[in-house]
A and B are shown apart, each in its own frame.
Chain A
Amino acid sequence: MTAFATTLFHALIALGSVVIGLFASVGRLTRFALVVLGRIVRPPWYPAQLVEQMLKIGWFSLPVVGLTAVFTGSALAQQIYIGGSRFNAASTVPAVTVIGIVRELGPVLGGLMVAGRVASAMAAELGTMRVTEQIDALTTLRTDPFQYLVGPRIVAAVLVMPLLVLVSNALGVMGGFLLATGRLHFNAAAYLNTTAQYLKWDDISSSMVKAAVFGFFIALMGCYHGYHSSGGAAGVGRATTNAVVSAFILILMANLVITVIVFGS
């Protein structure tokens, strides 16, 4: 074989093993998700754990999610104003801002922010419990780690993310409103009126669906990588990174899929 053919051959082998590895991890992840879903529906349930996780995920994410939404909403309004639509600004700025925020930026940015905070924390917590044998200890103490640790985290994330995104949407629109009325001299009543006029129920419900799906992926990634971590502190660090990166990717992919399904036709 020529050197070129050899190189090509090796490249193909490398590519093949990457693809096989990808399918293998998708398979493992799917199995993990199915096991979790199967256990969540069966008692015992742990309401105290659920409430604790809802507080951790929801309440303590409010500042960062809110801040992101306000700043992004303002910046968005400013750009739309600049972006060649000055002639029809009075209706374009509020309309595009509310649609952009509610349909896309509210859920996506909220999801990414929560993923950064929560998926990493879950992976670190479960990962530490794994390497210090606390997860093994649970099973000898008549407790299923899926029901006690993973279930409450996933249910809490799915329940709380829509509420967070609702707040994120409201604050994002408010950010645009403040900038438009404060800096660009829009009429406040007209701005709100147009906003309400362009906002449809479909926008809100698709936003909530996205949020719930993102919440599921965030908690799933945090728990999956934490649960399967190994190799001491370095392993927990790897699990944390992988949880955040994979949650980001899944959120962006799921967002595209839902957007195409809901608004594409």
Chain B
Amino acid sequence: MTPKIRLRDVHKRFGAKVVLDGVDLDIATGESMVIIGGSGTGKSVMIKCILGLLRPDSGSIQVDGAEVVGLKGRALAAHQARFGMLFQGGALFDSLSVWRNVSFALDGSAADRRAAAVDTLARVGLGADVADLRPSELSGGMQKRVALARAIASKPEILFFDEPTTGLDPIMADVINDLIRTLVTDLKITALTITHDMASVRKIADSVAMLYQGRIVWHGPRDGIDSAGNPFVDQFVHGRAEGPIKMQLKRL
């Protein structure tokens, strides 16, 4: 079966800095894939390449078997319209109210869109009272949840979440994990989540891939992460400073 998303030998560099150095990855339809990896290893760059926001230097990215690298104009817009994306920084429109943000991609009368926005906000644990506020009037964690609501509001077929639980308290993080799991299980959405949060990984992943130095160094089912036998994964899962992943630090 053709995977929903297939990456082959994807390379991306910024100037002299090589970020992606031959990424191969398959995501099956209806699968929840979680990408783990150290800060600055190129996880966000990778999903921006898939979305067509960044153009890889070489390599192939296919969605449903169709090449997407090099798409332009309306074809690119049609490609991007299939995704819902939670940006790492939220990327809320600060000139619009919360409900207008959430319902941005929806059609219909203002009253209908507002109602749909309030419904979606409820799913991320936000009340109707925030609907008329501006994003700048919300806390960081609330902004993150509004951004999440905006990503899922139009019910796209593929969802990307860049660190959905960063900045949330553990209880709210669990609510969000449940929500993502529900979206994948009940709505058969294909999801790609980036996270550093191992509780999230265990809750939402069907399979896990680890990115290190521009390549996928390990890829397997969720239950495999504890017995991966891969020193990179072991070090990451257990959060150890000592191991093959060297942090660029100066010793005091």
Binding site for B on A (CB under 8 A): 129, 132-134, 136-137, 139-144
Contact = CB atoms under 8 A, between A and B. Distances in A.
B87 A137 contact: yes
B30 interface: no
Given A141-B105, A141-B154, A132 B83 contact: no
B152 to A, nearest CB: 12
A29 to B, nearest CB: 19
Interface string B16-59: 00000000000000000000000000000000100111000000
A144 B74 CA distance: 9
Contacts of A143: 104-105
B150 interface: yes
Contact of A142 (B81, B91, B151): B81
Contacts of B94: 132, 134
Contacts of B105: 141-143
Contacts of A136: 48, 51, 53, 87, 91
Contacts of B51: 136, 139-140
Interface residues on B, range: 20 to 34
B77 interface: yes
A64 B186 CA distance: 58
Interface string B89-110: 1011110000000001100000
Nearest to B54: A136
A129 B104 CA distance: 16
B214 interface: no
A140 B93 contact: no
A133 B87 contact: yes
Contact of A133 (B83, B91, B151): B91
> A-B pairs with the 8 shortest C-beta distances?
A133-B91, A137-B91, A141-B105, A140-B85, A142-B81, A142-B105, A139-B80, A141-B104
29 contacts: A132-B89, A132-B91, A132-B94, A133-B87, A133-B89, A134-B92, A134-B93, A134-B94, A136-B48, A136-B53, A137-B85, A137-B91, A137-B92, A137-B93, A139-B51, A139-B53, A139-B77, A139-B80, A140-B51, A140-B80, A140-B81, A140-B151, A141-B104, A141-B105, A142-B80, A142-B105, A142-B154, A143-B104, A143-B105
Interface string B140-165: 00000000001100100000000000
A134 B150 CA distance: 12
B55 to A, nearest CB: 13
A137 B86 CA distance: 9
B114 to A, nearest CB: 16
A143 B91 CA distance: 14
Contacts of A134: 91-94
Contacts of B150: 141
A132 B51 CA distance: 17
B48 A140 contact: no
Contacts of B83: 140
Nearest to A135: B91
Contacts of B81: 140, 142
A179 B92 CA distance: 52
A144 B78 CA distance: 11
Nearest to A139: B80
A194 B36 CA distance: 79
B171 to A, nearest CB: 27
B159 to A, nearest CB: 10
A132 B92 CA distance: 9
A132 B87 CA distance: 10
Contacts of A144: 77
A243 B182 CA distance: 47
A142 B80 CA distance: 7
Given A136-B87, A141-B104, 5 more contacts: A134-B91, A137-B91, A137-B93, A139-B53, A140-B83
Contacts of B93: 129, 134, 137
A127 B210 CA distance: 33
Nearest to B77: A144
Nearest to A131: B89
Contacts of B53: 136, 139
Contacts of B154: 141-142
A140 B51 CA distance: 8
A230 B252 CA distance: 34
Contacts of A142: 77, 80-81, 105, 154
A141 B113 CA distance: 14
Contacts of A132: 89, 91, 94
Contacts of B84: 140
A166 to B, nearest CB: 30
A122 to B, nearest CB: 13
A129 B87 CA distance: 13
A141 B91 CA distance: 12
A203 B53 CA distance: 48
